[in-house]
Structure 1
Amino acid sequence: MQSMKAAVLVEPHTFEVRDVSVPAIGPSDALIKVERCGICGTDMHMFNGHYAADKLPIIPGHEFSGTIAALGGEVTHLKTGMRVVADINIGCGNCFYCRRNEILNCTEMRQVGISRDGGFAEYVSVPARLVIAAAPDAEFDLLALVEPVACVVRAARKADVRFGQSVVIIGAGPIGNLHIQMMRLVGAAPIIVVEPSLQRAEMARQAGADAVVTDPVTARDTVLAMTGGRGADVVIESVGLPKLYQQALTLIRPGGHIAAFGIAGVADTLPLPLLDTVLREYSIKGSVAGMGEDMHDALTLLTHGRFDLRAFRGVSYRLADIQQAFEDLPKRPDALKIQIEIGQ
């Protein structure tokens, strides 16, 4: 193998499908033949020039699945032909943060498809220690959803949601929908969703939301009415807009916290009511990517059918049409996920 097809994001809003060299692998690496790769909200931020613009040109794509095409000489726990997914977060493996599975804080951290070439290509190279084997008959479009599910697994862990705790989810896009389903799995109740899109609001109801607010002005009244006048134990901001983070502060109860998940702009800030934060013991916990055991748990949950993924499967584009796929995605509220078909 000398060359492969890859979608290179050369500048914001512009992909070029090029012939590029197949990535080299070292003795401890794996080369994955990519079959499917989903378009993530982070990819859209990159496409629009709002995130990781300093990394362009790059081959994006981090929600990928495929088969092992080749292995470095030191790799003994994997075999060629295995169906796999991969943890995209590459840390040094030795530092304080890596040991605590807080790899995003490692000073050497890189992410496949974000700070190094990713899965919108026929092949991608990753450290073999981050490759996770799946069942031989696992469907590639399902496996390509492991990474986004791992993100909500980690968010649930970080938020430390307990049985019977009330949760508000702001935004019912793809990740918001997965947050709803994750909150049902961990026993949250009630689950209240704030989503102005009527189509996605209905999807949120189907995903298991106990109440869906389509008029944000009425959100606080609804939350208070459903929580005994206290406010929510946890509010998950899943969009990334400062005004929605500001709204989240109005929806939590004293002692509650905000799970900061939505990616905001580099210069975006949140005016924080400091006295209220101290006296009412608010807290904010960030979470953005699944890693380590989160990926394994996500694969287990998907393998055993714990998520309803019908709205995430069935819409795909060929690699040659990736530019059109990115342009179409914002116009498709009915499709919670678009995947790129890469394997032939």
Structure 2
Amino acid sequence: MIPTTMRAAVLAAPGRFELRQVPVPEIADDEVLVRVSRCGLCGTDIHIFKGHYSADRLPLIPGHEFSGHVVRTGAAARDVALGTAVTADINVGCGRCFYCRKNEVLNCPTMAQIGIHVDGALAEYVKVPASHLVAIPRSTPVEMGALVEPVSCIVRAVKKSRLRLGESVLILGGGPIGNLHLQLARAVGAAPVIVSEPNPGRADWARRSGADIVVSDPSQLAATVREATEGRGADLVIESVGLPVLYEQAFELVRPGGRVLAFGLTDADAQARYHPFKVVLGEIGLQGSVAGMGDDMREAMTLIAHDRVRLAEFAETVYPLARIAEAMDAFVNDRRINKIQIDMG
């Protein structure tokens, strides 16, 4: 029996979570109610927690990397079986505009992301449009479904970057997102794959994940990239941290005719300098990418179900919902932690 209220981690103000008993969401005819099993924390949650992003939406229940089971369906969603293990595409647009038709939902004028703009999954239940569900195969543990969303972001980034077999890749940042960039770059046949990461633990993680070269000393990065690419620079440079200084560095380390993939989310007012003269004469491309949506989610689920990405280390650190404040503090401040998931029990 579904209760009328649920436990939820409410971000009441920047830097302050409150565990509250709140109403279970009421669903529309085209929605389903999901009993949350796991919910991951990610860099976007840190931005929200610090008040850098979605501050106008507070109080808010964050949480957009989640998995669980369908426990209630709307009148128009009867084809969804109760008990189905699912995750979901969190990007909800109007479904009719120019951008939605092109699967560029983030640019839809009415777009809202579950857990970022509207209440999400750091709670016992979350409501989701039935059309946005992604089924988790029975052979895949349900907690792995909470990693489909971050993997889908990299799936889309690979498409946007037009990464090809045998191209060299430099990834600036070896955190969770940088690690996924590394894994998918290898999966599509990029070589060599170079990771720049000063944190010793994350540098070792990159090596375990198959990086061809890991650079821990920033002063050695330029020389290492030149040596590995016959002096040209990388075909593709991915900024996965969100620091203006790294964006500037990316343009210095990409080869003429290469591309820079802008992925790391900076503060809203951050600026980075580049040299238009070099970009024009070098025909350097710049491509932004931030979130997976639509088929990106289903393709990410397929990769996970067939063990094309190593995710065990993403699910090692698990906290209960009651310790959300402690979990967020650890995620923000403890650089030894790669990823945190919240277990709903």
Specify the TM-score bucket, using the shorter chain as the normaliser: over 0.9
Aligned partner letter, 1:276: K
Aligned-residue Cα RMSD (Å) equals 1.0
Report the Cα distance in structure 1 between the residues aligned to 2:333 and 2:272, rounded to whole angstroms: 29
Q: Structure 1 counterpart of 2:27, which letter? A: I
2:121 is equivalent to residue 119 of structure 1? yes
Q: Kindly provide the amino acid, as one letter, of the partner of residue 242 in structure 1.
A: P
Structure 1 stretch displaced more, 289-298 or 302-311: 302-311
Match of 2:176 among 174, 177, 190: 174
Aligned to 2:17: 15
Q: Could you tell me how far apart the structure 2 residues matched to 1:273 and 1:111 are?
A: 35
Residue 71 of structure 1 deviates from its aligned partner by 0.5
Map 1:1-150 to 2 at 5 A.
1-150=3-152
Task: Give the C-alpha shift of residue 268 in structure 1.
Answer: 0.6
| Other structure's SS at 1:144 match | helix
- Percent identity over the alignment? 51
Aligned to 1:152: 154
Structure 2 residue 222 is matched with structure 1 residue 220: yes
Task: Give the corresponding residue for 1:207.
Answer: 209
Alignment gaps of 5+ in structure 2? none
Q: Could you say what secondary structure the match of 1:279 adopts?
A: helix
Structure 2 Cα separation of the partners of residues 159 and 206 of structure 1: 24
**Alpha-carbon offset, residue 334 of structure 1:** 3.5
Match of 1:259 in 2: 261
Deviation at 1:275, TM superposition (A): 1.3
Aligned counterpart, 1:292: 294
**Conservation of the 8 A alpha-carbon contact between 2:167 and 2:192:** yes
Q: Is the 8 A contact 1:46 1:53 kept in 2?
A: yes
Query: For residue 31 of structure 2, what is the amino acid of its counterpart?
Result: D
Per-residue CA shift, 1:125-173, capped at 9, x if unaligned?
1110001111235312211111100011111010010000000000000
Q: Distance in 2 between matches of 1:169 and 1:77?
A: 42
After superposition, the C-alpha distances for 1:287-322 in whole angstroms (9 at most, x for unaligned) are: 010100000000000001111112112211110100
C-alpha distance in structure 2 between counterparts of 1:217 and 1:151, whole Å: 30
Residue in structure 2 matched with residue 238 of structure 1 by the alignment: 240
Partner residue, 1:315: 317
Say which is worse superposed, 80-89 or 277-286, in terms of deviation.
277-286
Structure 2 counterpart of 1:117, which letter?
D
Number of equivalenced pairs: 343
TM (norm. structure 2) is 0.98
SS of the residue corresponding to residue 145 of structure 1 reads helix
Q: TM-score, normalised by structure 1?
A: 0.98
Whole-angstrom distance in 1 between the partners of 2:298 and 2:137: 13
1:248 matched to 2:253? The reply is no
Tell me, in whole angstroms, the C-alpha distance in 1 between the residues paired with 2:204 and 2:58: 37
Amino acid at match of 1:284: L
The one-letter code matched in structure 1 to 2:29 is P
Show CA shifts across 1:101-126 (max 9, x none): 11000001000000000000000011
2:52 counterpart SS class: coil
Structure 1: tracts of 5 or more residues without a match: none
SS in 2 for 1:42: helix
CA distance in 1, matches of 2:333, 2:60: 25
Equivalents in 2 of 1:214, 1:138: separation in Å? 35
Which of the numbers 187, 191, 194 marks the counterpart of 2:193? 191
Distance 1:57 1:80 in 2: 30
Aligned letter for 2:183?
Q
| Aligned partner letter, 1:305 | D
Q: Deviation at 1:16?
A: 0.3
